[in-house]
Amino acid sequence: MFVPTTYDPQELRLLHLLSRRYPTISDVHTEIINLNAILALPKGTDHYISDIHGAYEQFDHILRHASGAIRRKIGQAFGIELPRQQQIELAMLIYYPEKKLRQVLSTLSDPHDWMTTTIAQLVRIVRSSAQKYTRSKVRKRLDPHLAYILEELLDEGQVDHLQKDRYYRSIVSTIIELGEGENAIITLASLIQNLVVDRLYILGDIYDRGPAAEKVMDRLISYHYVSIQWGNHDVIWMAAAAGGDATIANVVRIALRYGNLETLLDGYDISLRNLMSFANDTYADDPCARFQPKHGPVIEDYTSDAVARMHKAMSIIQLKLDAQVIRRHPEYAMDDRLLLDAINLDAGTVSLYGKTYPLLDTRWPTLNPADSAALTPEETAVVEDLRYQFQHSARLQTHIHFLYSYGNMFQVQDGNLKFHGCLPVDTSGNFITFPLGGQELAGPALLSRYEQLARTAYFSQNPEARKEGQDAMWYLWCGPLSPLFGRLRMTTFERYFVADPSTHEEAKGPYYDLRDSESFCRRVLEAFGGNPDHGCIINGHTPVKVRKGERPIMANGKLIVIDGGMSKPYQSVTGIAGYTLIGNSHEMTLAAHSAFISPDEMITLHQDVAPQTELIATFPQRVLIADTDTGVMLKDQIEDLRKLVRAYRNGVLVEGTHGDRPIRQ
């Protein structure tokens, strides 16, 4: 006997919307077949990178060779058929096709045969790389200029091998004769880079230290799939772009400290003229010896002495603005960092934690003893000018909007937990409760609330809500219980003004002692919804000091730190130039990178500076899309489509009307 199927109103509305896209049972069946086929494909390759810190050239090179994955793909495609040096030359062509083409073509009088062979080799690698994807996905990644021709070259559906070979040779020969050979090679090389990695994961700290964070952001925006977990250096730029005065001061001070002004001046067109004028007037007779930039070239019109004066001026402005945030938020419990109140200029000393120290610099012309956090009118004008520029830099706003759109505080992906820094925990590994935005929160809920406040700081039209969000982001930058900082205090003041190195120490929180405990990591994974048996925690933030024997793999493989010092300032400490992680359907591999040399030098020397790789895990069975989070989503879509078919068959919805007919109850 027929039993009528009942639908609740919400389900009916959703099915009605779905019917607009799939107006017939045949349409639904076609999509179900397509989704089931996708589930049977191997999982794509994931690429994890952290702590780029503006090191664009190194970052760009890592993307081009996909942490060694392209070399491995060439090896899989050709094996011993192609000698090692020829594989290196082919790899360099894929990484830097324009540069390599110039070198090769300058040595050939008739490049037809070389181009014919090279295009065939590249097509072979593309075919191998495309096996994990549907035709539709490959088609979307093709350059439209040669899309049709390349699709023909990539098609392996011809039955007769001899006929197929003639057909391909005819296409390639015509491409070369028409002068499109170089363009075809460049397009194929780019396609290989595009296909070898399916998804790119950035674990924070794109900004600061290095000279070209804006170029890194441009590269990320153009990438086919990116997911970002924010780092502490990203968050201060995000809050600065939102108009947060204290974070603007931090951003500018760091750029001045490291002599790294390119991103501000050239990347984002933010002028420091007003700051320089103020600093030259206020500190004209001050040598500012403690504020000479650490490294970096002198920028045109900004001498090292001018930078030092601006550096001191901005440092004192920052200390005042930091104090204002602390005073606004007693719940932050950071009164011990109100160090301007502890200065005795007459004695030339400062009191820190029960001890008195001589100040290394006693020239504080803008400090008001009656209100140490108050800006002078001239300092206020400097801050207002910078705030306006940060909020009206079109390129900066585009980049920060991208960080908000594709970033978050943490992500659980295929059982793995990804976040930049650490977690606020006590010595027993229990999550610490923290008052944030009027709530007492801990663990995943705390990080989620930080993320909400970060978005409020940028998008809210309520000035008070924006200010609260910007202050929370400032706390993420330097607060003792911040999951992006993870240290007892940020000793900026001490490093500038106190000689005793013991005051410069920034003690780490308990997380860093616990992260080598497998049981702790399993508890964290479970709390965040990861897989404690098969997943792992992936962090950045703390450079792994390989030179001192530190290891990036901890807790029996349950935690991996992939900050290896990509930016030059860190490399003397780490001994390498960055870690990255590659995960595919067979295995997970850690790559340790050496210092970057220019593409021109690599091509001239015929050397591929490949990373050293270490196998972390192998999977007993090849991982399919059906086994991933994407697979779960696709299975849910298939179930929704089956419900739509039942609605058509039960007469609840009418086929072929594109959802325009009323729903039947």
Alpha-carbon gap, residue 438 to 114, rounded angstroms: 68
Give the pLDDT band (50/70/90) at residue 610. confident
The answer to whether the beta carbons of residues 274 and 585 sit under 8 Å apart is no
What is the per-residue pLDDT across 586-605, written as a single tens digit (0 to 9) for each? 999 999 998 888 899 999 98
Name the token pair of 219.
């590269």
- How confident is the model at residue 381, as a pLDDT? 98
What angle separates helix 84-95 from helix 56-65, to the nearest 10 degrees?
Answer: 120
The answer to whether the beta carbons of residues 487 and 506 sit under 8 Å apart is yes
Above 70 in pLDDT, residue 62? yes
Strand (E) positions, 148-216?
A: 199-202
According to DSSP, the residues that pair with 439 across neighbouring strands are 436
What is the per-residue pLDDT across 276-298, written as a single tens digit (0 to 9) for each? 999 999 999 999 999 998 865 55
Average pLDDT, the chain: 92
Above 90 in pLDDT, residue 61? yes
Alpha-carbon gap, residue 335 to 489, rounded angstroms: 11
Above 60 in pLDDT, residue 217? yes
Q: State the CB neighbour count (10 A cutoff) for residue 52.
A: 32
Name the token pair of 560.
């991996």
Mean predicted confidence (pLDDT) in 480-496 = 96
What is the per-residue pLDDT across 394-414, written as a single tens digit (0 to 9) for each? 999 999 999 999 999 999 999
Above 50 in pLDDT, residue 659? no
Strand (E) positions, 222-274?
A: 226-229
User: Highest-confidence range of 52-61, 387-396, 649-658, by mean pLDDT?
Assistant: 387-396
Above 60 in pLDDT, residue 157? no
What is the per-residue pLDDT across 18-42, written as a single tens digit (0 to 9) for each? 999 999 999 999 999 999 999 999 9
Mean predicted confidence (pLDDT) in 32-58 = 95
Alpha-carbon gap, residue 477 to 455, rounded angstroms: 16
The answer to whether the beta carbons of residues 560 and 539 sit under 8 Å apart is yes
The percentage of the chain sitting over the pLDDT mark of 90, rounded to a whole number, equals 77
Mean predicted confidence (pLDDT) in 30-55 = 95
